[in-house]
């Protein structure tokens, strides 16, 4: 378990650190230590030093990771709900409805979606709620396709046909017989959606369109670090490394799960 799911263990360690560190540390992410502006690593109580206005790097890293993961999970859930609803409807109803619904998905796939999200962020003033609703609305397409395929395959199976013949209402069939059977695949794609969302959120934050100060996220920390990298490379390297490790581990576990179910 430990060696086989090494990536998952790393993710859990990062999550645990992000959640626990705020209680263990003497500094909060937005607290300014006037006596130690731009402190180097391992100086006093600042393990990774402080940034250009004297905020503890480690505290900011933990806070940023927390926000990034929170946005990612919320947005992935939005995409899961929209994707399952859309895909299951299309797959179950079939025929014309299916064709139109899937054409819409194909069409949306081809759009420069990132640009519409950027516009959304500019328009509705960058609230954190909108960040994940916006991202979730972009990321549901793959989920819808996968769920539709699964539902279409299940529809032909004897136990579903039997339930239909017995006069079970469609809602009950979907809820009791179809959903449990697509849960595994949906979970795998949910897991693959999380790194996608992390990437989009950090991208938006990097451009200054995502999460806003004083809140912070990994994308914002990378941006701050990049602006200041000639003075302290640590500011870029720390959040960059956490972000990349998270993305790699989540992708590896997600792909493994997907391969098991397909």
Partner 1 sequence: MFGLITRRLLTAIPTLLVIILASFFLMRLAPGGPFDGERPLDPATQAALQQAYGLDRPLWDQAWLYVSRLVQGDFGPSLVYRDFTVSELIAQGLPISLMLGGLAIVMALAIGVTAGLFAAVRAGKAADKVIMMLATVATALPTFVTGPALALLFGLWLGLLPVSGTGDGVAWLIMPVVALALPVSGAIAKLTRAGLASVLKQDHIRTARARGLSETKILFKHGLRPALVPVASYLGPAAAGLLTGAVVVETVFGLPGLGRYFVQGALNRDYPLVLGVVTLYAALIILFNLFADLIYGWLDPRMREG
Q: How far apart are CA 232 and CA 39, in angstroms?
A: 10
Q: Which is nearer to partner 1, 160 or 198 (CB)?
A: 198
Report the alpha-carbon distance of residue 45 to residue 42 in Å, rounded. Answer: 7
Q: Which of 255, 152, 236 is nearest to 196 (CA)?
A: 255
Q: Does 261 bind partner 1 (CB under 8 A)?
A: no
Find where tokens 């994707």 sit. 83
Nearer to partner 1, 60 or 223 (CB): 223
Q: Binding residue for partner 1 (CB under 8 A) from 2, 24, 123, 165? A: 123
Binding mask 234-253 for partner 1 (x = CB under 8 A): --xx--x--xx--xx--xx-
Q: Return the range that interacts with partner 1 (CB under 8 A); candidates 16-24, 31-39, 62-70, 108-116.
A: 108-116
Pick 107 or 214: Cβ nearer partner 1: 107
> Largest Cα–Cα distance of the chain, in whole Å?
76
Terminal-to-terminal C-alpha distance of the chain: 22
- Residue 53 near partner 1 by CB under 8 A: no
- At its nearest, how many Å lie between partner 1 and the CB of residue 238? 11
**Integer Cα distance of 252 and 248 in angstroms:** 6
Q: Which of 44, 53, 109, 175 binds partner 1 (CB under 8 A)?
A: 109
Question: Which tokens hold the place of 153?
Answer: 């395959």
42 burial (CB, 10 Å; 0-12 / 13-18 / 19+) is exposed
Q: For residue 191, which phi and psi values (nearest 5 degrees)?
A: -65, -35
* 3-class SS of residue 22: helix
Q: Of the two residues 71 and 154, which places its CB atom closer to partner 1 in the complex? A: 71
Structure tokens given for 50: 């402080």
* Pattern 193-232, partner 1, x by CB under 8 A: --x---x--xx--xx-x---------x--xx-xx--xx--
Q: Is 113 in the site for partner 1 (CB under 8 A)?
A: yes
Please count the residues of this chain forming the interface with partner 1, following the rule CB under 8 A. 41
Cα separation of 170 and 254, whole Å?
A: 31
- Residue 150: cis peptide before it, omega within 30 degrees of 0: no
State the residues that interact with partner 1 by CB under 8 A.
107, 109-116, 118-120, 122-125, 195, 199, 202-203, 206-207, 209, 219, 222-223, 225-226, 229-230, 233, 236-237, 240, 243-244, 247-248, 251-252, 255
């Amino acid at each position: 378990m430990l060696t086989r799911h090494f990536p998952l263990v790393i993710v859990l360690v990062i999550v645990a650190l992000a959640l626990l560190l705020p209680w263990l540390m003497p500094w909060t992410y937005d607290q300014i230590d006037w006596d130690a502006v731009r402190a180097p690593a391992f100086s006093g109580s600042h393990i990774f030093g402080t940034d250009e206005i004297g905020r503890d790097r480690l505290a900011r890293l933990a806070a940023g990771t927390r926000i990034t993961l929170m946005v990612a999970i919320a947005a992935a859930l939005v995409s899961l709900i929209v994707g399952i609803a859309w895909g299951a409807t299309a797959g179950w109803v079939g025929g014309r409805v299916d064709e139109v619904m899937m054409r819409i998905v194909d069409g949306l796939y081809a759009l420069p979606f990132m640009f519409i999200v950027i516009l959304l962020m500019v328009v509705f003033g960058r609230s954190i709620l909108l960040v994940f609703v916006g991202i979730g609305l972009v990321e549901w397409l793959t989920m819808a396709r996968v769920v539709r395929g699964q539902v279409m395959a299940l529809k032909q199976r004897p136990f579903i046909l039997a339930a239909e013949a017995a006069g079970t209402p469609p809602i009950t069939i979907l809820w009791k017989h179809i959903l449990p059977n697509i849960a595994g695949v949906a979970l795998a794609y949910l897991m693959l959606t999380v790194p996608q969302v992390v990437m989009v959120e950090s991208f938006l934050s990097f451009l200054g369109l995502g999460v806003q100060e004083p809140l912070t996220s990994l994308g914002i920390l990378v941006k701050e670090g990049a602006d200041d990298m000639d003075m302290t490379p640590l500011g870029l390297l720390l959040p960059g490394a956490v972000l990349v490790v998270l993305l790699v581990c989540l992708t590896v576990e997600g792909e493994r799960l997907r391969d098991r179910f397909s």
